[in-house]
Structure 1
């Protein structure tokens, strides 16, 4: 599923290409690109839920903005997000790329992935997708892009 999400992000979102609105056409294109139907449905559902996170009535953590709060990870979150990933999230909060609300959106989307093989590079992609889709975070998205694409090899994967 991560491959599909990265493909969609690079092909449509990041390249400023026109995103097809018709989900059937998009599914067909992904099938032609070699992805499996079940993974396509899961990825599209994942993206729909990402868009739904903008509704603060459905996501109560979006209303919290305490700068003094400390995030405690559950055992499940710690098994998905290793210490490197958790440290990176903390770093991004400290430099104000992520706020408590966007951090929670990232964690929500990470936990929604059906994978046992998750790493820092995957997390970076999820962060970019969340920041891109979260209104009012254009500056944070730009900072994140600079952090990632300004690295030695110029790529985030």
Structure 2
């Protein structure tokens, strides 16, 4: 499934540029992906579309890369997240995501790359992904797909962290 998602990410510059599921399925099949992989990926993308539906994204004029995300409803109904608030993960989330993925999500949050609204979508989509626990490289694809779906392009350093494999890296 993740190979299909990477193909979609690389070939369609934004979520709204992606063709309808039937046409996308035909294109994926023509590129040699197996029917089961395509079915899983299309189902996962449908869930992503539902999760981001009604999302309000407010971009900062000073920093176009940063964004505030509201998950539907009027802006006055949403309470801002306090800087000292903490996300508590359920037992199922902890088991499915694993310590490495949870640590990476926290890293992205603390780097202001993953606002709380997007974090919740990443967690929800990761919970819908196969694997126990989800691999870190798969989580990175999920984060990329959430950004792709919302039209928020991460900055170059974040893209490098999300796209480059840890194998062959030299620690400084």
TM-score category by the smaller chain?
A: 0.7 to 0.9
Deviations 1:51-108 (CA, angstroms, capped at 9, x unpaired): 22232349xxxx4531332111112211221211111111111110111111111001
Give the helix-richer structure, 1 or 2: 1
Partner of 1:82: helix, strand, or coil? helix
1:22/1:100 CA distance change after superposition, 3 Å: closer
1:36/1:3 CA distance change after superposition, 3 Å: same
Give the strand-richer structure, 1 or 2: 2
CA contact (8 A) 2:9 2:148 kept: no
1:19/1:132 CA distance change after superposition, 3 Å: closer
Alignment partner of 1:128 is 2:126: no
Q: What residue ranges of structure 2 are gaps of 5+ in the alignment?
A: 55-70
CA contact (8 A) 2:96 2:132 kept: yes
- How far apart, CA to CA, are the structure 1 residues paired with 2:165 and 2:35? 34
CA RMSD of aligned residues (A): 2.8
Q: Considering only CA atoms, is the larger Rg found in Structure 1 or Structure 2? A: 2
CA contact (8 A) 1:64 1:101 kept: no
Q: What residue ranges of structure 1 are gaps of 5+ in the alignment?
A: none
Normalised by the length of structure 2, the TM-score is: 0.69
CA contact (8 A) 1:110 1:123 kept: yes
1:22/1:149 CA distance change after superposition, 3 Å: closer
Q: CA deviation at 1:27?
A: 1.2
Alignment partner of 1:99 is 2:115: yes
Normalised by the length of structure 1, the TM-score is: 0.75
State how many pairs are aligned: 144
